[in-house]
Each structure stands twice: as structure tokens, then as C-alpha cells.
Structure 1
């Protein structure tokens, strides 16, 4: 994707979509360049590290969700079954991390993808991370737990102790994002995770009207 194409999407308020199968350093570096171009365009480059962290965490979650489908299918486990879900997670992280290329090939063969949408409108940036595996009830419950737990804790160490999940490797990621967005002054609607039955969609919405956001801009 060229620099000019990103400029066109920005100037015409079009949605720019980046599609990938895996999410390793090459993909992260590319997304960093696209994100930086968006933030530079609206004169907010000081947010690039924070927003990149959030975006990479969400895309990493999408990649893990796709890998889980392949892994559970390979082992003959039903991912929608709570019992099978717990059983599969006990070995999922170790097995997939040690065979990354194999599972990326299987994800590609299965038609699984990650799509990252960028849209800029009225100096508010919306980023959606989509993967074509809908949330299971177990996954939705775990995400809901993280959102609820975030409301109870005011610092990362406390939240870490309450939520760390070594089996999936994503126990604290969503809470870190929520805490970071709170510290930047974005409202509760800045992050939303749901499914439409075909895709899981994580939406990061950075509203230019948020109070601390404007304060950061004025002090930059």
C-alpha cells in the first residue's frame, strides 16, 4: 500500500483497510507506518506510541483467536464447549508459539484473516480490528470480565494479579488498553469489542473532543 493511497483515504474520508493473515514484526512495522501517517496528518504524532500499543494488542488478540480455531479443529475439540475450551487452552499457547509458521499456513488455508480499518473524520480517528471468527460465549465472558475488572482497579499491578491468564497469553492486554485510554482522557466508549456473528470486531475510537486529548494537543 503506497503513501499516496493513505493520503487519498485521509483526504476523502474513505475507510482504508489493511488485510493480513499473520501479525508478526513485519506486519506491526507496516501498521506503525500507516498509523503514523494518520496521526501526522491530524497533527497528533505524540500519540503514536500509545495508540500503536493498543492497536498491536488488539491485532494480536485477533491473530490468537484465528490460531485457536485452527488448533482446536486440529485436536478435535469443540471451541464452543466450555469443557473443551478449557482443555484446549492448557496447551494452546506453547504448541502454537513453537509452530508459528505451521499455524499461519493453516490459518491461510482456512481463509482466516485480520483486517484493520482506518477512518478519519472530523479529526476523530476510528480504527477497527476484525477477524472472521465470531466470539464464543466463553470468549465473550472473558472479555466482559476484563472490562468489569478494569472498573474495580486503579493501577496495573492490581489488575494483573486479578486477570493474568498464561494459557492464552492475553490476560492483561485489554485492561492495559483500557487503563491507557483512561489515562489519556478518552471516555468509556473509546474501546468496544463485539461480534456480528461472522466477525469479531474491536473498535478503537479516539474522539478529538475529549478533554485531556485537547489538553495534550495544546501542551505539545
Structure 2
């Protein structure tokens, strides 16, 4: 039954890619099936645009972003259940510690169902043609100021690294192990490793939505959305 479901969804993905330049996937939690659909989507799009060499790098990045988006939604539910205020600094740190201690794969599945019931989602929006690809990972909970500050700091620091081992070593020595921030910093390093300008990666807050946007030009005719963004996290001077 699972195999039939995967094949059916993959046929729909392949059909959408072959017929147009847009594709949207939506989920409430990261599962093995979701991972397979992300990989198949990238394979289909990058084959069509003749940039298959980017499959594994983009898959790694997308997986990180979707996990972060799903966790962000699930953390909001956890804080609500614990009657903790995200915007109160002491309560925020208490909640994060409680969440880290309680987190497990079983919990992720349970809270994924709760996210679905509350209308919280993580959506992957692909837009692509021969000029380039734009991928947006959207979750419908906004980043609070404390989290935004952490992300801005991580992204700024990551711009100074070109090597994953060097980055890991310095983070370990400083005792800095903030999960989501570390993952975002590694994304920047992966992009630099592919020769992709990391300024094409943005995290934006629009109302109650947090949007992680990655753009990759395939030609000089590609037009980026970044110049139209009113608010950016991690913007470089």
C-alpha cells in the first residue's frame, strides 16, 4: 500500500514538472515518505533543467529547511501546551530546554498530527525554468525576535567559512550547538562549495509565515526576488 502511494504521488509530481514550471509539496512532519518525494521532485526538476549535479546538495538543504519548518510549528504547539510565553525571554529558554529533553521521533510524529489538526504546515514551493530555480520552504508560524537574532548571527558567521570541518571545529570549541542555527550556517557553506552566491539564500518573515527562499541562477537572464524583499534575515552589506 505504501509503495503504491509513493508511486501515485511521484506520478503526479512528474506530471506537474513535465507540464509546467511550478510544483508545490505540503506536509506537517518529516517522514521517510516525505524525504522520498522531495528527492524525486528534485530529480525530476533538475533533469528537466539539465542541472542534475545539484541534486544531492539541494536535497540536503531542502531536508534541513523542511525539518526546521516542521519543528518550528511543533515547538509552538509544545509551548502552548506548557502554557509558556514565547516572547518572554526566561520562559522561552525554559521552554526550549524542556522541548529538547522531550523531543523524540515518536514525539515528532505525534506533534506532526497535532500541527495538521491546528492547520499548521510546511510547504515547499518550486518555481523553475531554463534560467534558474527558486525554492521556498514556508511554515505558517512567524519567527520570534529572539530566534531571528540567532539566525542572523549564524548566517553572518557562516559567510566567513568555506570548509565544513573548520566550521564544526570552531563551533565545538565555543560550545555553540544551537541546532537550527547550525543547520542554516551549514547551508551557506554547502552553497559556497557549489560556487553558488549564498546571498541568494534568504529567510523572510511575512505576517505569520516564515519563508526560507533559495534561488539558483542557471543563466544571466535569471531575475531574483531578493531586491523586492522589504525584510530580510542575514542580509549582507
Could you state the TM-score of these two structures normalised by the residue count of structure 1?
0.86
Structure 2 counterpart of 1:23? 30
Say if 2:24 and 2:126, in contact at 8 Å, map to a contact too.
Answer: yes
Structure 2 counterpart of 1:130? 138
- 3-state SS of 1:99 partner: helix
- 3-state SS of 1:172 partner: helix
Structure 2 counterpart of 1:114? 122
* Change beyond 3 A, Cα 1:52–1:38: same
* Change beyond 3 A, Cα 1:31–1:145: same
Q: What is the distance in 2 between the residues matched to 1:26 and 1:70? A: 23
- 3-state SS of 1:84 partner: helix
Structure 2 counterpart of 1:99? 107
Q: What is the distance in 2 between the residues matched to 1:164 and 1:129? A: 29
Structure 2 counterpart of 1:218? none
Q: Which runs of 5+ in 1 are unaligned?
A: 211-220
Structure 1 counterpart of 2:49? 42
| Offset at residue 43 of structure 1 (A) | 1.5
- 3-state SS of 2:142 partner: coil
Say if 2:143 and 2:210, in contact at 8 Å, map to a contact too.
Answer: yes
Which of 158, 163, 181 aligns to 1:155? It is: 163
| Offset at residue 7 of structure 1 (A) | 4.1
Structure 2 counterpart of 1:215? none
Structure 1 counterpart of 2:212? 202
Q: What is the distance in 2 between the residues matched to 1:86 and 1:131? A: 22
* Change beyond 3 A, Cα 1:205–1:197: same
Which of 183, 191, 198 aligns to 2:193? It is: 183
Say if 1:159 and 1:172, in contact at 8 Å, map to a contact too.
Answer: no
Say if 1:57 and 1:173, in contact at 8 Å, map to a contact too.
Answer: yes
Structure 2 counterpart of 1:88? 95
Structure 2 counterpart of 1:54? 61
Say if 1:21 and 1:114, in contact at 8 Å, map to a contact too.
Answer: yes
Q: What is the distance in 1 between the residues matched to 2:13 and 2:180? A: 33
Structure 1 segments of 4+ aligned residues over 6 angstroms from their partners: none
Q: What is the distance in 2 between the residues matched to 1:190 and 1:3? A: 30
| Offset at residue 53 of structure 1 (A) | 0.3
Q: What is the distance in 2 between the residues matched to 1:147 and 1:122? A: 29
Say which is worse superposed, 181-190 or 63-72, in terms of deviation.
Answer: 181-190
* Change beyond 3 A, Cα 1:8–1:176: same
Aligned length: 208
Q: Deviations over 1:156-177 (max 9, x none)?
A: 24433337655x6324211111
Q: What is the distance in 2 between the residues matched to 1:12 and 1:76? A: 46
CA RMSD for the aligned pairs?
2.0
Structure 1 counterpart of 2:39? 32
* Change beyond 3 A, Cα 1:196–1:202: same
